[in-house]
């Protein structure tokens, strides 16, 4: 009986399709934040799409010379690890403490599904986002933090009230936005103070 030989390009495609099927699971990871109409909680895939578009829309608020295409790529992959690790609520200290190890193990598994070169490239984007050592990663992280503040402001406090988050905790997160984009950081702080004034965020 003759043995069926799989061509290298076919093997590569099969690996890519396996990865494509795996990342579809990101649509099932539910975040704490609600959609801006308040109808339901958003999922991770929606969040990744949204912040990727924010990078394109708000790119002029990034430092001069920022590679916006790299920012978009980073934002599209930054939450893939949550397929295994789940969404970490940034105001849950215990969950945040365990986040790094869980997400690194997830990165080891998920990015390894891709063919070597592609997997390494995507893993590098995720590592860069987490390290926040480049202007692109700091701007990407700023948008990742900006989106929930925008959503909570437009849902009259949203998760802030539900989880008894205080204004000081939110202001602390604004610092990360300021690091990536001073203008977006200033705008986010305005939203925080306006939410406090309206009684949607407690001091």
Residue 159: CB atoms within 10 Å: 19
Write out pLDDT tens, residues 21-54: 999 999 999 999 999 999 999 999 999 999 999 9
- Residue 3 pLDDT exceeds 60: no
Reduce the DSSP state of residue 92 to 3 states and report it.
coil
C-alpha 11/C-alpha 13 separation (Å) is 5
Q: Which fold is adopted by the domain 9-197?
A: Hypothetical protein af1432 (1.10.3210)
Contact residues for 62 (Cβ-Cβ < 8 A; gap 6+): 55, 68, 71, 135, 139, 180, 181
Kindly state the average pLDDT of the residues 115-132: 95
pLDDT of residue 1 exceeding 50, the answer is no
Nearest alpha carbon to residue 78 among 17, 123, 24, 135:
123
pTM above 0.85, yes or no: yes
Query: Does residue 6 surpass a pLDDT of 60?
Result: no
Domain residue spans in the chain?
9-197
Least confident residue range of 4-8, 55-59, 81-85, 199-203: 4-8
pLDDT digits (tens, 9 = 90+) for 144-166: 999 999 999 999 999 999 999 99
Q: What is the mean pLDDT of residues 86-97?
A: 89
Phi and psi at 43, nearest 5°, equal -105, 170
């Amino acid at each position: 009986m003759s043995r069926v030989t799989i061509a290298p390009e076919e093997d590569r495609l099969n690996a890519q399709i396996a990865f494509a099927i795996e990342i579809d699971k990101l649509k099932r990871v539910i975040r704490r934040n609600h959609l801006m109409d308040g109808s339901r909680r958003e999922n991770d895939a929606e969040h990744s799409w949204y912040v990727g578009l924010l990078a394109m829309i708000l790119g002029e608020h990034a430092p001069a010379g920022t590679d916006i295409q790299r920012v978009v790529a980073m934002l599209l992959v930054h939450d893939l690890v949550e397929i295994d690790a789940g969404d970490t609520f940034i105001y849950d200290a215990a969950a945040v403490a365990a986040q790094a190890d869980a997400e690194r193990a997830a990165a080891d598994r998920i990015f390894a599904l891709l063919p070597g070169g592609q997997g390494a490239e995507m893993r590098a984007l995720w590592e860069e986002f987490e390290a926040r050592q480049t202007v692109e990663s700091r701007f990407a992280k700023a948008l990742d933090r900006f989106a929930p503040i925008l959503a909570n402001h437009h849902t009259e406090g949203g998760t802030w009230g539900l989880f008894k988050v205080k204004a000081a905790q939110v202001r602390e997160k604004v610092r990360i936005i300021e690091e990536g984009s001073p203008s977006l950081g200033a705008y986010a702080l305005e939203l925080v103070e306006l939410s406090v004034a309206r009684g949607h965020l407690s001091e």
